[in-house]
Amino acid sequence: MRPKNRTTAGVGAPLRAYLMGLTALFVLTAAGAIWFGWERARTDGLAAARADARFAAGKAAQQMGEGVTTVQATVGSLASAPGAAEVYTDPTACRLSFNLGSSDAGHLDLLRPDGTVACSSRPLRDAAEARTYRGAGWLAAANREPQVTGPVPDPRTGRPAVLISAPLPGLGSVIAMVDLAEFGRNAGQAYGGARDLEFLVLGPDGSSILTRWPDPVRWSGLPLRPSAFAAPGPGGDGTDVTGVPRVYGQATVPGAGWIVYAGADRSAALAAERRSAGWQAFIAAIGLAAGLLATLLVYRRITRPIGRLRAAVHRAADTGDLDAEVTVAGPREVRALGAEFAGLLAAVDRELAERRQAEEAAREHERNYRQMFDTSPNPIYLFEPDTLRLVAVNDAAVAYFGRGREALLALTVPDLCPADDAAAVTQAMAGAGVVDRGRRMRHLRRDGTVTDVELTSHVTVFAGRTVRCAVVDDVTEREQLQRRLRQSERLESLGQLAGGIAHDFNNLLGIINGYAGMCATDVEELAPDEPEWRRLRADLLEIVAAGDRAAGLTRQLLAFARADSVVELRVVDVNAVVTDVERLLRRTLGEDIALRTNLTGDPALVKGDVGRLEQILVNLAVNARDAMPQGGALTIDTDVVAVDDHYAAQHPGARPGRYVRLRVSDTGAGMSRETLERAFEPFFTTKPVGQGTGLGLATIYGIVTQLGGHAQIYSELGHGTTVGVLLPVTEETADAAGAAAAPPEPGAGQTILLVEDDESLRALTERILRSGGYTVLSASRAAEARTLAREHADIDLLLTDVVMPDMHGPDLAAALHADRPDLRVLYMSGYAETILAARSTLPGGTVLLNKPVTAHELLSAVSRELRGARRRQPR
């Protein structure tokens, strides 16, 4: 006999009680929703109005700030314009215009110190209007310094305005009167929007109304206190000047400090939201009634079939016939309840089948992951997060670290790094997140090579346990390239600085050498046999020699800056230069230094200058000698190499092509990485004070780069230094000899217009030209030179400085050339020609005399130009 199943059920509340509780819950929820809707509508309405007001205030403040900035820039540029002074002497030159969106926005005036109008963008009605600013309280301050103030009365329009001014030293001031009513009108029309926002602009102290929209004409310039305005509180609620409650947004005008309020009508902001809340409450009430009715119907349709189902289940339990089909009338869900008992076993069987399929998919995913892990070109290793012990490595990691797989699996992550980094790596791995990207580390290969890497790791599951998967990206080569690029950019900026500094020194050296040389000549002619005069002449020649040495320093600076142009480039055999210099070096290096040369058998022809190549060799040899105080070996070798795209990409400044490589190697102390990075910088030296200028390697860098080559230093502490120089191979085999320079011919009274802003240098140049037989017209400014040119029709040559305060030399030449197309021109400058050409200051193909210029060079250039040896047309 089958035992009976008995179920003990506790006494629970009937379904009717649940129905009543559910009804009460519906009613309370609906009431709460309606109340919340009303409150939320009010809050949302005010928040939306406040957001619109804040946005409009911010945009209006930005627009006003941009307007003030634009007017300030216009006033400032007019005050600094060179032609502004002309208006005071010639009223017909007045061409002012002023427009901030409309003709009534304001006007721009040029005032004399007493306040009378010299020029205006707003036509003057009569002479009396030109004197309306006299006695203005702001006038004295406007003549002293820039001003932005307001409101002030505009006597020309009769309306309040903002005053923006800038002084014209010695002449008066430039003022702009910006109409405040127009400011308010522009803000209201641009940002009033659908809410018809009110805009109120107060001064920085908040005591005066600058402007208001609507009705800007009435309110602009009035004090704030008598109005009904109440400043907005933390929620933005306030009252406007007419007493209307509003929701305000606030912003400050940049640069002016004005306070901009934008206010939306509070009642209008709430009206639409209240209507929306009312409709929501109506819909909620209808929904509540429908829900209660539906609940009652569902209750009646469920309780009766459930009762019949219970009776059928009881019968089946009493009879033990569990396989009997139970048919229950009622809703579909209740009728299907009996069928779902039979479908339960089928559902369990389907779930087991799906679980088997999921397990197979997981195994397939693991096989794919393993294949990707093993075949990845990047080194990958898995390690335990707590012990950092390696549990798996791919083939790329085995090749990268140079260790066998079993040897790697016996290590931890800190073992893969230099010993000094172990503690930091352990701490970093302990604090890594689920995914840790781009962590900078160093790895140590088996051969002792230390590499810079970026490590990306993430948590994964391997062989049933949680591990971290680390992907290695070797960035050593990229870091070296970036370091070399930074060094190249730093040297480029230092070169530009050095080229500019040399200009001022050249002017001073020209004056010192010129006067000292002429004095020495005069002393020799006056008393060549008297001992006192001979000593004086010797002292003067020492001054000239010191000036020449100083000029040599500036030439080294210009060489580093690649601005000291080579006078003549010739085809040079580098092997021949090395052979010539070798004889000199063997006599000067000393017996404790062994000099060896290894020259290529291929033609080593480059386009360059013999003197500068010799300078490179001598500078490098001297540096090598100083690096070997106890003696050693110095090796100079040459060969012809081809630079490919890969080498050029790794060495900024190098270009692909064929080069003659000149290398100077020593067995000295070598350099640290910090010294290598700064080796080419001018004035950087590791020698004691007084034993080096720091210009040797900088000069070499400038010469090589100027010749289109590339210089590189290879050095390690304790292993010596090798300096490699790459110079482009030339296909030319012969070099045409330059024509000998013609000696200077004495002048025949030709007239030279000399323009030089340096008074001492101008006097010296004028003296040299007069001693050479020329008539000189001297000017310190371009304007003075143009006046002399109009007064003298027989000018044969213009000799002018390139860079001058009022007008550059090429512009002056172009102006004179309009009336004198055949006028010849010579330029002088302390800046090198390549710097001037790079700045588009000097026309191409012109003759430039580099300061300091000797008397012989000056007279020779003037003689050649007057003979018509070289003609140019200034731009």
Amino acid in position 227: S
Q: What is the pLDDT of residue 382?
A: 86
Q: How far from chain centre, in Å, is Cα 592?
A: 53
Q: What is the DSSP string of 624-640?
A: HHHT-TT-EEEEEEEEE
Query: What percentage of the chain has pLDDT greater than the value 90?
Result: 2
Over residues 462-519, the pLDDT tens digits come to 777 788 888 887 776 676 666 656 655 555 555 555 555 665 666 666 677 677 777 7
Q: What is the pLDDT of residue 80?
A: 83
| Nearest-angstrom CA–CA distance, 514 and 764 | 7
**Pairing of β 657-666 and β 593-598:** unpaired
Q: What is the DSSP string of 579-610?
A: HHHHHHHHHHS-TTEEEEEE--SS--EEEE-H
Q: Say if CB 296 and CB 20 are below 8 A apart.
A: no
Whether the bond between 151 and the residue before it is cis, its omega within 30 degrees of 0, is yes
Q: What is the DSSP string of 178-244?
A: EEHHHHHHHHHHHH-TTTT-EEEEE-TTSSBEEEEESSHHHHTT-BSTTS--B---TT-EEE-TTS-
List CB contacts of 565: < 8 A, sequence separation 6 or more.
706, 832, 833, 834
Q: Do the domains at 570-728 and 751-866 have one common CATH topology?
A: no
The secondary structure of the chain in percent helix, strand, coil, rounded to multiples of 5, reads: 45, 20, 30
Query: What percentage of the chain has pLDDT greater than the value 70?
Result: 69
Give the range with max mean pLDDT: 305-309, 581-585, 662-666: 662-666
Q: What is the pLDDT of residue 7?
A: 47
Over residues 598-623, the pLDDT tens digits come to 888 888 888 877 767 877 787 788 77
List CB contacts of 599: < 8 A, sequence separation 6 or more.
575, 578, 579, 637, 638
Over residues 88-133, the pLDDT tens digits come to 887 777 878 877 766 677 888 888 888 888 888 888 888 788 888 8
Over residues 631-669, the pLDDT tens digits come to 888 888 999 888 877 676 666 667 888 898 888 888 887
| Nearest-angstrom CA–CA distance, 727 and 710 | 7
Phi, psi (5° rounding) for residue 238?
Answer: -160, -175
- Cα three-residue angle 623-629-634, rounded to 5 degrees: 55
| Nearest-angstrom CA–CA distance, 193 and 576 | 85
The DSSP letter of residue 221 is T
Q: Could you tell me which CATH number the domain at 376-474 has?
A: 3.30.450.20
List CB contacts of 214: < 8 A, sequence separation 6 or more.
188, 198
CA distance readout (Å), 498 to 164, 398, 494, 681, 839: 42, 51, 6, 10, 16
Residue with tokens 């797989």: 405
Mean pLDDT of 218-232: 80
Q: Say if CB 456 and CB 434 are below 8 A apart.
A: no
Q: What sign does the CA torsion over 379, 384, 389, 393 have?
A: negative
Q: What is the pLDDT of residue 326?
A: 55
Other CB atoms within 10 A of residue 12 CB: 8
Q: Say if CB 681 and CB 698 are below 8 A apart.
A: yes
* Res 345 pLDDT > 50: no
* Res 870 pLDDT > 70: no
| Nearest-angstrom CA–CA distance, 421 and 358 | 44
The DSSP letter of residue 746 is P
Phi, psi (5° rounding) for residue 107?
Answer: -150, 160
Mean pLDDT of 798-810: 85
For the chain, which residues make up each domain, given as ranges?
14-194+264-323, 376-474, 480-560, 570-728, 751-866
| Nearest-angstrom CA–CA distance, 394 and 379 | 7
CATH superfamily of 570-728: Histidine kinase-like ATPase, C-terminal domain (3.30.565.10)
Could you report how far apart the first and last alpha carbons of the chain are, in Å?
124
Amino acid in position 594: A
Q: Say if CB 228 and CB 120 are below 8 A apart.
A: no
Least-confidence region, from 435-449, 681-695, 711-725, 836-850: 681-695
Residue with tokens 């000797």: 854
Pick the CATH number of 480-560 from 3.30.830.10, 1.10.287.130, 3.90.120.10, 3.30.70.260: 1.10.287.130
**Pairing of β 570-573 and β 632-643:** unpaired
Give the alpha-carbon dihedral of 463, 468, 471, 476, to 10 degrees.
-140
Query: How is domain 751-866 classified at the architecture level of CATH?
Result: 3-Layer(aba) Sandwich (3.40)
Whether the bond between 254 and the residue before it is cis, its omega within 30 degrees of 0, is no
| Nearest-angstrom CA–CA distance, 627 and 690 | 16
Mean pLDDT of 371-375: 67
Mean pLDDT of 7-32: 67
Q: What is the pLDDT of residue 752?
A: 92
Phi, psi (5° rounding) for residue 227?
Answer: -75, 175
The residues facing 110 across adjacent strands are: 119, 174
For residues 381-390, b (16+ Cβ closer than 10 Å) or e, as one string?
Answer: bbbbeeebeb
Selection from 663, 666, 685, 576 nearest residue 616 by Cα: 663
Least-confidence region, from 44-53, 54-63, 283-292, 748-757: 283-292
Counting every residue, how long is the chain? 875
The DSSP letter of residue 420 is G
The residues facing 596 across adjacent strands are: 635
Q: What is the DSSP string of 110-165?
A: EE-TTS-EEEESS--SSTTGGGTTTT-TTHHHHHHS-EEEEEEEETTTTEEEEEEE
Q: What is the pLDDT of residue 325?
A: 54
Q: What is the pLDDT of residue 581?
A: 79
